[in-house]
Amino acid sequence: MIRMKQSRARRGIQTLLLASSLALAGTPALAQENTRDVIFVGNNWEGMIDVIDAETYTSLGRINGIPDKRQRMTEILFNPIRLVFFKAVRYLIGEGNDQYVDDMYSSPDGRLLIVSRPSFADVVAIETGTGKIAWRFQVEGYRSDHMALSPDGNRVAVSASTGNVVHVLDVNTGNEIGRFPTGNSPHENVYSRDGSKIYHASIGHVFTPLDKNLLDFTKGERRFQVVDANSLEIIEQFDFADKLKAAGLGKLSPAIRPMAHTPDERFFYFQLSFLHGFVEYDMEEGVVTRLAELPNLVPDLPRELYINDSAHHGIAMNGDGDALCAASTMSDYLAIVDRETFGYQLLTGLGEKPYWVTTNEAGDRCYVSWSGTDQMSVIDIDTATELARVDVGDHPQRIREGQVPAHW
């Protein structure tokens, strides 16, 4: 078992101080008094969203993420170009399945659930009380992807995979506040804690079969960007390939997948295409500092068979900033990694094809989706043990904490 450096008591004090400082800054989007804390699990291939109580881990019900499916399908079937892209998403990215729910966030009052729907290339706000769509936004191009909610809960950033832009929308109205250009296949978005910046990564064409190192150039333009969250002007951007070469890691793919960072946002931890592990990046110095190598339990599997180039997909930092949870999508394990030493403990046999990891608000537990066995687990980070496992829908991917009305 990995011994973490700080106790839960200290973690609780840190969490309280952080919440207090955010409140003084006037930036938080925390739950309101008439709401109930829940966990949302998006079932990508099914289109349903499971709602789980954040304290008891019992299922409270489900929200239909595609109540307008018939209307959307009619539009697609009568538009030849959209139909081609709809099928491309199904067979090139969705493993033969339509992608109905990728990401989701609730509004601070729990009234709305914002959902990105890749196959429909849109973002919708669903009223949690009625199940009706309050607003809908069609993204640029033909596929929507990962999102990020601003700390005050007023804005949501969504990647438009084929449009090569990130849209920033008003949570309450769905109106576009602005957008910024990206590389090919914009993917992960993360707001800074103070809401002043958006960290963004474009992953390139992960759906192509040209996965040999010599053919890496066919993957397109992959950028990491730091964006001013108010003006949406790009503060900094770079090709991560240059950073990897400078660190002697030029053979690694520069496609940044999910990411996590320390509480002070100095050190970032990037999962990369095909990599069993992650790299540490010093945002202040602008250099790759370390490589964390985790076990490859499928050494004979050709990288061409990795799902969308993902050896690992899902990483999250605990509240103390001294441990990470990392999902090995191809090797079917969750790793709890000590940030200082990169020592790790593997949790195996819990499920198949883990596709996402996130931590709870307190930072002492992580949630992992097992998309191959249609379940999600709650993991105690300090003890590296499973506290609960919940049956969900078909191919769960993104997991987010949020709110619904107290009477829900």
Residue 357: what pLDDT? 98
Domain parsing of the chain, residue ranges: 33-405
Question: What string of DSSP letters covers 12-33?
Answer: HHHHHHHHHHHHHHT---PPPT
Residue 216: what pLDDT? 67
Task: Please give the average per-residue pLDDT across 270-282, as a whole number.
Answer: 97
Residue 269: what pLDDT? 98
Task: Judge whether 115 and 126 are in contact, CB under 8 Å.
Answer: yes
113 phi, psi to nearest 5 deg: -120, 115
**pLDDT tier for residue 246 given thresholds of 50, 70 and 90:** very high
Question: What string of DSSP letters covers 336-388?
Answer: EEETTT--EEEEESS-S-EEEEEE-TTSSEEEEEETTTTEEEEEETTTTEEEE
**pLDDT tier for residue 21 given thresholds of 50, 70 and 90:** very low
Q: What number of other Cβ atoms are within 10 A of residue 203's Cβ?
A: 29
| 8-state DSSP, 380 | E
Residue 29: what pLDDT? 52
pLDDT digits (tens, 9 = 90+) for 340-350: 999 999 999 99
Return the sign of the alpha-carbon dihedral for residues 374, 147, 166, 310. Answer: negative
Paired tokens of 366: 């992580």
Q: Which CATH superfamily is domain 33-405 in?
A: YVTN repeat-like/Quinoprotein amine dehydrogenase (2.130.10.10)
Q: What number of other Cβ atoms are within 10 A of residue 91's Cβ?
A: 11
**How many C-alpha atoms does 299 have within 13 Å on its Cβ side?**
3
Residue 389, H or E segment: strand 385-391
Confidence check: pLDDT of 211 > 90? no
**How many C-alpha atoms does 34 have within 13 Å on its Cβ side?**
4
51 phi, psi to nearest 5 deg: -115, 120
Report d(CA 189, CA 336) in Å as an integer: 23
Among 247, 327, 260, 322, which residue's Cα sits nearest to residue 289?
Answer: 247
**Residue 191 identity (one-letter amino acid):** Y
**Residue 324 identity (one-letter amino acid):** L
Report d(CA 201, CA 221) in Å as an integer: 11
Report d(CA 357, CA 350) in Å as an integer: 14
Among 166, 253, 270, 182, which residue's Cα sits nearest to residue 221?
Answer: 182
Residue 5: what pLDDT? 38
Tokens 């990369």 sit on residue = 272
Residue 365: what pLDDT? 98
Confidence check: pLDDT of 206 > 80? no
Task: Give whole-number Cα distances, 331 to 148, 272, 291, in Å.
Answer: 27, 15, 19
Task: Please give the average per-residue pLDDT across 222-248, as a whole number.
Answer: 96
Report d(CA 226, CA 212) in Å as an integer: 29
Confidence check: pLDDT of 138 > 60? yes
**pLDDT tier for residue 31 given thresholds of 50, 70 and 90:** low
Three-state SS at 116: strand
Q: What is the largest CA-CA distance in the chain?
A: 59
Task: Please give the average per-residue pLDDT across 209-219, as a whole number.
Answer: 62
Report d(CA 306, CA 311) in Å as an integer: 6
Mean per-residue pLDDT of the chain = 91
Residue 363: what pLDDT? 96
Least confident piece of the model among 26-35, 100-109, 229-238, 383-392:
26-35
Residue 213: what pLDDT? 62
Task: Please give the average per-residue pLDDT across 131-144, as a whole number.
Answer: 98
74 phi, psi to nearest 5 deg: -60, -45
pLDDT digits (tens, 9 = 90+) for 75-125: 999 999 999 999 999 999 999 999 999 999 999 999 999 999 999 999 999
Task: Please give the average per-residue pLDDT across 160-177, as a whole number.
Answer: 97
**pLDDT tier for residue 10 given thresholds of 50, 70 and 90:** very low
Task: Judge whether 395 and 43 are in contact, CB under 8 Å.
Answer: yes
Task: List, edge to edge, every strand of the sheet that includes 234-238.
Answer: 186-191, 197-202, 224-228, 234-238
Residue 144, H or E segment: strand 144-149
**pLDDT tier for residue 252 given thresholds of 50, 70 and 90:** very high
**Residue 70 identity (one-letter amino acid):** R
Report d(CA 382, CA 13) in Å as an integer: 16
